[in-house]
Amino acid sequence: MQLLTYRDGLGRFRAGIRIDGSVFDAETLTGRNDCGTVLSILQDWELLEPVLIHRANDRDGARPSPVEYTALGSPVLYPGAIYCAAANFRDHMRAMAAKLNQPVEPDPRELDIKPYHFVVPGRACISAPDDPLRLPSFGKDIDWEIELVAVIGKPAHQVRPEQALEHVAAYAIGNDVSVRDHRFLKIPNVPPQSLFRTDFIGMKCWDQSCVVGPWLTLARDIPDPQRLAMKLWVNDELMQDSSTAEMIFTVAEQIAYLSSRVTLLPGDMVMTGTPAGTGMERGRFLRPGETIRLSIEGIGEMTQRVSK
């Protein structure tokens, strides 16, 4: 069973439940008016998760639609906050060091460095696989980044790593599409030691740059988020082929650290970093008309076309 957002015959976005390749309207299936959107379900997750599971196993008389004929939106419309991990995969750090002809940086733990995140505005940046990916006009080197997305279902405040996954309702696939033009990464005429040298808004926070989908797979069905294969293709060329086992800071450690600074709320998302195989490492970037396909073990697969 997965949760998703779909567009009904009147063009309205509604919460759906995917079971065996078919989509059931969540509000109709459960008979509850608080199941009209995925966000409303997440906001009362502890109560509604068992209701959803019960009705998924007892759906007599319910009429589904095949998922291939259903227009999907991003699963959570709209997340309150999206926290994105930076430089959190060992293989990605090794590949970038090789690309730049530099030594590999020490393990952050050896330097007592904590998980490092930036925040993306959900309403402007969130995008669905069914949406065309529109490349921004202000950048030319546009990159792909497959990521495991953890979706919060219970408020998390000052939680310990061993408790953190109890606050995750579900997981999804993310693509943190990024502008890699050198002038955004290293702004010209700014001293190397300056805090103003990197333009994170220009690189990471443009309209519809954060693709999440195709649905939410319940956390109860992902027993270990640190043992999931991750793959990304551009057209039919395999670009990223790794595993969440390559994370420097685990999903639990990231949630625990974030919760020590800000309360994570239902519907918030944590994008947990990307592995090796990005366009930045290859010197090869997205072009109009190309197709991006992403897969994470246990969650599924999603495809998005780059707009011409």
SS3 state of residue 101: coil
56 is written with which tokens?
A: 């998924």
Q: How many separate helices (H) and strands (E) can be counted in the chain?
A: 10, 18
Instruction: Output the pLDDT for position 67.
Output: 82
Neighbours of 31 (CB within 10 A): 9
Task: Give the start-to-end residue ranges of the domains of the chain.
Answer: 2-73, 82-305
Q: Residues 6 or more apart from 1 whose CB is under 8 A from it? A: 17, 18, 19, 52, 53, 56, 218, 221
Task: Read off φ and ψ for residue 300, nearest 5 degrees.
Answer: 140, -155
What is the widest separation between alpha-carbon atoms in the chain? 67
Distance from C-alpha of 304 to C-alpha of 201, rounded to nearest angstrom: 23
- The alpha carbon torsion through 179, 265, 88, 305 (nearest 10 deg) reads -40
Q: Write the DSSP string, 199-232.
A: -HHHHH-STT-EEEEEEEEEGGG-S-TTS-EEEE
Neighbours of 77 (CB within 10 A): 17
**What pairs with residue 178 in β-bridges?**
143
pLDDT string in tens for the chain (308-residue length): 999 999 988 889 999 999 988 999 999 999 999 999 999 999 999 999 999 999 888 887 788 888 888 899 999 988 989 999 988 999 998 998 888 788 888 888 888 889 999 999 999 999 999 899 999 989 999 999 999 999 999 999 999 999 999 999 999 999 999 999 877 777 778 787 776 778 888 889 989 999 999 999 999 999 999 999 999 999 999 999 999 999 999 999 999 999 999 999 999 999 999 999 999 999 999 999 999 999 999 999 999 999 97
Residues listed for the chain: 308
Strand pairing report for 22-25 and 13-19 = antiparallel
Distance from C-alpha of 193 to C-alpha of 195, rounded to nearest angstrom: 7
For Cα atoms 212, 217, 221, give the angle at the middle one, nearest 5 degrees.
150
pTM of the model: 0.94
Yes or no: is domain 82-305 CATH 3.40.50.720?
no
Instruction: Output the pLDDT for position 195.
Output: 66
| CA atoms within 13 Å, Cβ hemisphere of 63 | 0
The terminus-to-terminus CA distance of the chain in angstroms comes to 35
